[in-house]
């Protein structure tokens, strides 16, 4: 009884607060379209990346909407066809995405099953499968010098990195493969996400030995495989070392973003030197903004601080989302409104989404003022609580878009992802 009264009282307070602050599921009553919005918004096909850019980062405002998953393929296809960018790295498991890349390069595999290796259940969708299919179909008819490549940058899982290294050793030295598997299972174990705390020293020695073997035998191993396979094997060891530390006491958020930055930088350097390609990065907006829009994510700001204008950030936003989120009893779909006047301005536009590149916005216009002001934008990750429905600051950011991004892709309304359950 006491709990019931407490919850009713809390609910009343939250609702009252939402009325006083203009919060709640509905949009702001004061919102209006940006006056000259239509003069600057274009379709995605007009995307043009400035000279000197080395990383094009594409964000997603939520992890639970189809349109943001679809944008990975749409933007990468444009960057590939118009600007020759041949490499895509996503917020996904490094080892698992390397297994997907094996298929993209012509290997065997089932695209439905391959989505299980991307790193998260939220990627088990037809839209992510479509990305894999597109990359494979493109490569099937592309010359070797024109083939595209797929990477992941995350280090939260370990066992697909094991598979990458087993595949590599199988190609270069079958006896070493058997030794690797035996030692891996004797130290790290046979269950993902579980690292024996009492074996950390032994695990690190094992991984250092693997690293040393790869370094000492580089020429021979590259001769039996190729530079791409060797590079991925070395990064799989790096990812495993990070996985072990992440699961044995590291400062989770800071350490994770530091590790992802390290992998992104190594992939960028390899792609530039080996294939003459820039890199497209795809992840949540929170990870890729130039100004560190979240207290828990650092990747974008760190890359921007190091690369400057060679880091080009494209954010995304919605006005209304019906978002697929994790609930206490499985996935749920909840509606939220961002109150973003830029996304609201898409309401009467005759296009699925609109692109604004800030360098093309005319100074002194209403649009120029809007992208320079602290306006609300939407941001939903892999988390949900009832209180979010009454506290918009739990799913809204308030920064000038120009501080976060160089461009934005805007949607009036976005639809929930459809995650496979098999």
Q: Per residue in 221-241, pLDDT tens?
A: 999 999 999 999 999 999 999
Residue 27 has what pLDDT? 65
What phi and psi, each to the nearest 5 degrees, are found at residue 348?
A: -105, 15
- Helix pair 252-270, 299-307: axis angle to 10 deg: 40
Question: What is the 3 state secondary structure string of 233-266?
Answer: HHHHHHHHHHHHHHCCCCCHHHHHHHHHHHHHHH
Are residues 125 and 419 in contact, defined by beta-carbon separation less than 8 angstroms?
Answer: yes
11: pLDDT strictly greater than 90 = no
Tell me the CA distances in angstroms from 170 to 159, 166, 180, 186, one per residue in order.
Answer: 16, 6, 10, 19
What b/e string do you get for 204-238 counting C-beta neighbours within 10 Å, with b at 16 or more? eebbeebbebbeebeeebeeebeebbbbbbbbbbb
23: pLDDT strictly greater than 50 = no
Question: Residues spanned by CATH 3.40.1660 within the chain?
Answer: 2-45+287-414
**pLDDT band with cut points at 50, 70 and 90 for residue 422:** confident
3-state helix, strand, coil in the chain (%, to 5): 55, 20, 30
Residue 293 has what pLDDT? 87
**pLDDT band with cut points at 50, 70 and 90 for residue 29:** low
- Model confidence, pTM: 0.93
Tell me the CA distances in angstroms from 195 to 56, 172, 247, 249, 276, one per residue in order.
Answer: 35, 28, 6, 11, 38
Higher-pLDDT residue of 7, 31: 31
Are residues 285 and 315 in contact, defined by beta-carbon separation less than 8 angstroms?
Answer: yes
CATH number of 2-45+287-414: 3.40.1660
Element (H, E) at 282: strand 279-284
């Amino acid at each position: 009884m006491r709990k019931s009264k407490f919850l009713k009282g809390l609910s009343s307070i939250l609702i009252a607060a939402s009325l006083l602050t203009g919060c709640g599921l509905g949009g702001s009553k004061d919102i209006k379209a940006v006056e000259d919005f239509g003069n600057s918004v274009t379709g995605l096909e007009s995307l043009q990346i400035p000279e000197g850019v080395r990383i094009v980062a594409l964000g997603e405002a939520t992890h639970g909407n189809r349109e943001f998953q679809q944008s990975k393929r749409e933007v990468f296809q444009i960057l590939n066809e118009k600007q020759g960018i041949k490499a895509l790295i996503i917020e996904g498991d490094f080892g698992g995405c390397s297994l997907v890349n094996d298929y993209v390069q012509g290997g065997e595999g089932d695209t439905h099953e391959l989505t299980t290796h991307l790193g998260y259940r939220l990627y088990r969708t037809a839209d992510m499968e479509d990305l894999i299919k597109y990359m494979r179909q493109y490569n099937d008819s592309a010359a070797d010098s024109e083939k595209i490549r797929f990477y992941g940058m995350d280090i939260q899982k370990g066992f697909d990195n094991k598979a990458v290294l087993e595949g590599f050793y199988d190609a270069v030295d079958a006896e070493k493969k058997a030794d690797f598997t035996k030692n891996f299972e004797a130290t790290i174990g046979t269950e993902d996400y579980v690292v024996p705390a009492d074996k950390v020293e032994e695990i690190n020695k094992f991984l250092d030995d693997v690293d040393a073997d790869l370094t000492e035998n580089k020429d021979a191993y590259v001769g039996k495989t190729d530079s791409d396979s060797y590079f991925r094997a070395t990064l799989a060891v790096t990812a495993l070392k990070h996985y072990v530390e992440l699961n044995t006491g590291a400062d989770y958020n800071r350490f994770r973003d530091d590790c992802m930055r390290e992998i992104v930088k190594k992939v960028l350097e390899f792609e530039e030197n080996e294939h003459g390609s820039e890199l497209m990065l795809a992840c949540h907006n929170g990870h890729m903004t130039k100004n560190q829009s979240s207290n828990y994510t650092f990747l974008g700001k760190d890359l921007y601080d190091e690369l400057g204008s060679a880091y080009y950030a494209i954010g995304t936003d919605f006005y209304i989302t019906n978002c697929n989120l994790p609930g206490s009893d499985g996935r749920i779909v909840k509606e939220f409104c961002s109150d973003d006047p830029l996304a609201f301005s898409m309401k009467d536009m005759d296009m699925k989404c609109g692109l604004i590149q800030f360098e093309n916005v005319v100074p002194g216009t209403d649009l120029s003022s809007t992208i320079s002001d602290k306006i609300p934008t939407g941001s939903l990750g892999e988390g949900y609580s009832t209180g979010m429905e009454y506290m918009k600051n739990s799913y809204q950011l308030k920064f000038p878009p120009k501080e976060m991004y160089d461009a934005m892709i805007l949607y009036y309304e976005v639809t929930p992802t459809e995650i496979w359950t098999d």
